[in-house]
Structures are given as C-alpha cells and as structure tokens.
C-alpha cells in the first residue's frame, strides 16, 4: 500500500467525533482488530466513490405513500411576493408578463387577419410605437413559433419608412408577451469606410 507523507490537518471536534464513530463500527466489523484513522478515511473515500444504485420508483398502488416536503427553489417567489430577477446593471431584462398584451382592434382588422393567414404564415396585430397608435399587421412564420423549444420566441419584423424593427416576443399561441422597437443598421453601409 502506498503511503503519503504525513501532514497535519485541522478537523473540527464534530467531524472528529463522527470519524471516531465510523472507526469504532469498522473495528467491530473487523473482529475487534484496531482500525486507524487513515484506514477509516480510506473506507469513507471508497464508499463515496462507489456508483450509486438507482432508486426504484415507488409503487403507485402501495398503501403507504412517501410524503416529501415541498422544495423551495432559490428564485421562486413566495406568497404575495413579486420576485424580480432582472438586473439592469448586467443587462438582464425583466421577464415577459404572464398575460398577453392587449390592444384595441376593429372588426375590420380581424377580417383582414383571417383572410391573409396561410398554412405557413400567421398574421398578428401588434402596436409599433414608431409607426403610431394604429396596430400593424406582422407576418410570423408558424413553423418558427410552433417548433421552438423555448416557451417565448423572439421574432423581428423590418417595416416602415424609414425602416425600423419591431421585435415581438410570442408564446406558442401567437400571443404577444413583449414588444420592442429599434432602428435598423446595415452592415453593408459601414464596410470599407
């Protein structure tokens, strides 16, 4: 057996007491032959490195159901608390609202929406702060939203005169959760200057 050079380490009294208990148990199992602390530590390390056996799921038909206490996640809000996880100093935006944004729509606009929709494209009405108070029609590829892994999808739409972009955050029901308007800057306009 390979032995390392002796080194002194500081151990709290509580940990030392636990080590001594394990040492006593190992001594009993080893037919009362004395076990040293370094052998106790080797035993602990071997047990730690053993692959863990997967736990069998409980039988749903059994009469005894294990009761687990609810887990409090670090970022989950408590009752009546609003937990803001955004940080402006780090550039982390606030989470989109849980409810979709509402806009006033005329029945005429709804008819236009229904007529324009195709099997590949869904049209949504969205307010663009740069275009004015009237909602605009924004085409959204259905596949982009419906096949997205994340629950809220960013879709950008270049429109208007002068051109600008509206970025809509849409859920899988094509409801607008958040929108943002920004200017358009083209790479080609700044190459070779």
**pLDDT tens digits, 68-90:** 666 555 555 554 444 455 566 66
What integer pLDDT is reported at residue 33 of this predicted model?
A: 72
The mean-pLDDT minimum among 38-42, 54-58, 183-187 falls in: 54-58
Does the pLDDT value for residue 190 go beyond 70? yes
Q: Is the pLDDT of residue 1 over 50?
A: no
Residue of 114, 177, 126, 120 lying closest to 144 (CA atoms): 120
pTM, 2 dp: 0.46
CA distances from 86 to 93, 104, 162, 167, 177 (A): 5, 29, 32, 19, 16
Q: What is the tens place of the pLDDT at every residue in 118-175?
A: 899 999 889 898 998 888 889 999 999 999 988 899 999 999 999 999 999 999 889 8
Q: Could you tell me whether strands 136-141 and 121-126 are parallel, antiparallel, or unpaired per DSSP bridges?
A: antiparallel
Residue 187 in 3-state DSSP?
A: helix
Position with higher pLDDT, 16 vs 137: 137
pLDDT at 95: 63
């Amino acid at each position: 057996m390979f032995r390392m050079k002796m080194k002194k380490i500081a151990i709290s009294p509580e940990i030392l007491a636990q080590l001594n208990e394990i040492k006593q148990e190992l001594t009993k199992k080893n037919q009362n032959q004395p076990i040293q602390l370094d052998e106790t530590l080797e035993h602990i390390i071997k047990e730690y490195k053993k692959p863990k056996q997967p736990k069998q799921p409980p039988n749903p038909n059994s009469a005894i159901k294990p009761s687990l206490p609810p887990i409090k996640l670090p970022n989950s809000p408590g009752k009546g608390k609003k937990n803001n996880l955004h940080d402006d100093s780090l550039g982390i935006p606030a989470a989109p609202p849980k409810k979709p944004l509402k806009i006033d729509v005329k029945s005429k606009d709804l008819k236009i929406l229904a007529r324009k929709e195709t099997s590949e494209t869904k049209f949504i009405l969205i307010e663009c702060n740069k275009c004015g108070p009237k909602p605009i029609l924004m085409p959204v590829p259905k596949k982009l939203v419906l096949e997205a892994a994340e629950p809220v999808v960013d879709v950008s739409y270049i429109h208007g005169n002068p051109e600008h972009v509206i970025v809509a955050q849409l859920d899988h029901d094509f409801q607008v959760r958040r929108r943002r308007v920004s200017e358009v800057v083209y790479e080609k306009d700044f190459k070779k200057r």
